[in-house]
Amino acid sequence: MAQTQAAPPSGTSKQAPGIYRYKVSDFEVTAFHEGTVPRVIDDKFVVNAPLPEVQAALEKAFLPKDKINNTFTTLVVNTGRNLVAIDTGFADNGPPTVGQAWANMKAAGIDPARIDTVIISHFHGDHISGLRLKDGSAAYPNAQVMVPAAEWAFWMDDGRMNAAPEAARAGFATARRSFEPYGAKIARYEPGKELVPGITSVEAYGHSPGHTAFTIASGNGRLLVLSDASNLPALFVRQPDWSPVFDMDKDMARAARRRLLDMAAAERMQVAAYHFPFPATGFIAKQGNGFEFEPVLWSAIL
Amino acid sequence: MAQTQAAPPSGTSKQAPGIYRYKVSDFEVTAFHEGTVPRVIDDKFVVNAPLPEVQAALEKAFLPKDKINNTFTTLVVNTGRNLVAIDTGFADNGPPTVGQAWANMKAAGIDPARIDTVIISHFHGDHISGLRLKDGSAAYPNAQVMVPAAEWAFWMDDGRMNAAPEAARAGFATARRSFEPYGAKIARYEPGKELVPGITSVEAYGHSPGHTAFTIASGNGRLLVLSDASNLPALFVRQPDWSPVFDMDKDMARAARRRLLDMAAAERMQVAAYHFPFPATGFIAKQGNGFEFEPVLWSAIL
């Protein structure tokens, strides 16, 4: 059949940049794919469900049963008044499969120096490492950095760090290293506070001691940023009582997950979540004893 | 709160280009968002279901109840041996909300002059208009164009065109205009034929007289290209017996829809479909008397 010339060599192409824009009424949200880190699915991944049930849930979602690609999506919100980053990814501090949000942000024409506020949901490394570039400089040189007060109190407690087992100390070190360039520009916040006009903190403790969700409200538009209250929808939206190994206080995290998913379903609020598949935004519907995630339909129209 | 400088004006940004790459074993598929055309949801859109049921299905999927944005996704398949376009969109012949696939193809580094084969599923204007640019030239100057024989026989029949009511003649004219630049480079194909190595036609008559689906097979990988055998998943995957106004022979189209969705579900084959939400690829699961579409998880890893 027709073959007028050689096709380009396969396997040399790259994925298109992971950038997706959507509106919350007047606000403009840009989601950035940060990359993925593979995670073996063993009996330690979901700590309170038998491995065959977890594998069956993955198979039902047409996903591999033996590993997932844990995915990360950062947000920049242009409120018209503020240019706000929510969580940072790794920038140049992570493994080679991440750090794409940093490049994608620049590809989207967003200069990190113009970000005036960085809001942090919690201090796990995939959310804060990107505050500080490997050369020691502030990734967001002109930003105030807003952190959950309870999170700061936990991770910056030297006594707790020194008492932690060796394997648990990396998290404390990451927090110290990541915030170091910001000094006096760090502001601690409580739940239920408007952090910048239109963006409000929502208590979601459990995943980590001060883990926080957010509502973004503009006009009639509302977005619930779940942060890490849930994770891969095929597992932790459909079975909200399953606990991923990442949840530090399993009972509290499970209660927060149900509370936020219930709210999203009841109010039909659009949600965004850090570990949902890119572009990591959609809606939550009640389904049986759990929930179903309906991703938004990709639209070129803003 | 922190506002060190004005945020950029909202409302001036564009969506990221609609380009998504995925592999079918050794083959590389690139999906291009072509744009959308709004369509009012009235009692004529689904011809065999009461409007309130249609509206309820849209609401369940968190979509507006009064209109949909009919979306279009074209494909380019690099088999390593051939560079194949499947359906063309409108190029520069459509309303302002379409034609993006033409730009996206160039943004992805695919020169239309390097396409050696264009495979057409059927002759509706959103699938063939882009064969010919407005200036009269061939959009794919070095390509053989492969068309379903039954489709050619229907739309190129002057007697049928002349007997058609005035309102139905535009489709016949579009077919004549679109294929005009290709002359002897047009090849008619039957169902069940390998069109280029790895790409085989699958009979799916009904949506139009010669409407065709395709399997793309490489190594252990298989992709079922549904073409227009289904449409918006929230309506025509979940309720496969509903007939969109676009189906020319409703009974035959409904049978083809069920046959292909059943095959995809039974064999757990990845599917692509022209009117599914971008990137328009995923999996089909049996659900009750219908099916559920599970989109692929966006991945930066090819």
List, for residues B98-154, the tens digit of each pLDDT value.
999 999 999 999 999 999 999 999 999 999 999 999 999 999 999 999 999 999 999
B100 chain-A contacts, CB cut-off 8 A: 300
Confirm whether A110 is domain-assigned.
yes
Q: Which residue has the tokens 């099916």?
A: B291
Among the residues of chain B, which ranges form H helices? 51-60, 100-107, 125-128, 149-155, 158-163, 169-179, 233-236, 250-267
Q: How many domains does chain A have?
A: 1
A116 chain-B contacts, CB cut-off 8 A: 2-5, 7
Q: What is the pTM of this model?
A: 0.95
Confirm whether A170 is domain-assigned.
yes
Confirm whether B200 is domain-assigned.
yes
Among the residues of A144-295, which ranges form H helices? 149-155, 158-163, 169-179, 233-236, 250-267
Residue B258 and residue B240 in contact, taking contact as beta carbons nearer than 8 Å: yes
Chain A residue closest in CA terms to B110? A8
Residue B151: CATH number of its domain? 3.60.15.10
Chain B residue closest in CA terms to A186? B2
Pairing of strands A27-40, B144-148: unpaired
Rounded Cα distance, B17 and B100, in Å: 8
- Between CA A66 and CA A75, with CA A69 as vertex, the angle to 5 degrees is 155
Confirm whether B13 is domain-assigned.
no
Beta carbons of B100 and A300 less than 8 Å apart: yes
In order along its 302 residues, chain A shows pLDDT tens digits of: 344 444 555 556 789 999 999 999 999 999 999 999 999 999 999 999 999 999 999 999 999 999 999 999 999 999 999 999 999 999 999 999 999 999 999 999 999 999 999 999 999 999 999 999 999 999 999 999 999 999 999 999 999 999 999 988 999 999 999 999 999 999 999 999 999 999 999 999 999 999 999 999 999 999 999 999 999 999 999 999 999 999 999 999 999 999 999 999 999 999 999 999 999 999 999 999 999 999 999 999 98
Q: Which domain holds residue A182?
A: 19-47+67-227+269-283
Please enumerate in sequence order all residues whose Cβ is within 8 A of that of A147, keeping only pairs 6 or more positions apart, or say none.
Answer: A120, A123, A179, A186, A187, A188, A189, A210
The one-letter amino acid code at A99 reads G
Confirm whether A254 is domain-assigned.
no
Beta carbons of B294 and A62 less than 8 Å apart: yes
Confirm whether A97 is domain-assigned.
yes
Confirm whether A31 is domain-assigned.
yes
C-alpha distance across the termini of chain B, in Å: 42
A235 chain-B contacts, CB cut-off 8 A: none
C-alpha distance across the termini of chain A, in Å: 42
Confirm whether B101 is domain-assigned.
yes
User: How do the residues of chain B divide into helix, strand and coil, expressed in percent and rounded to 5?
Assistant: 25, 30, 45
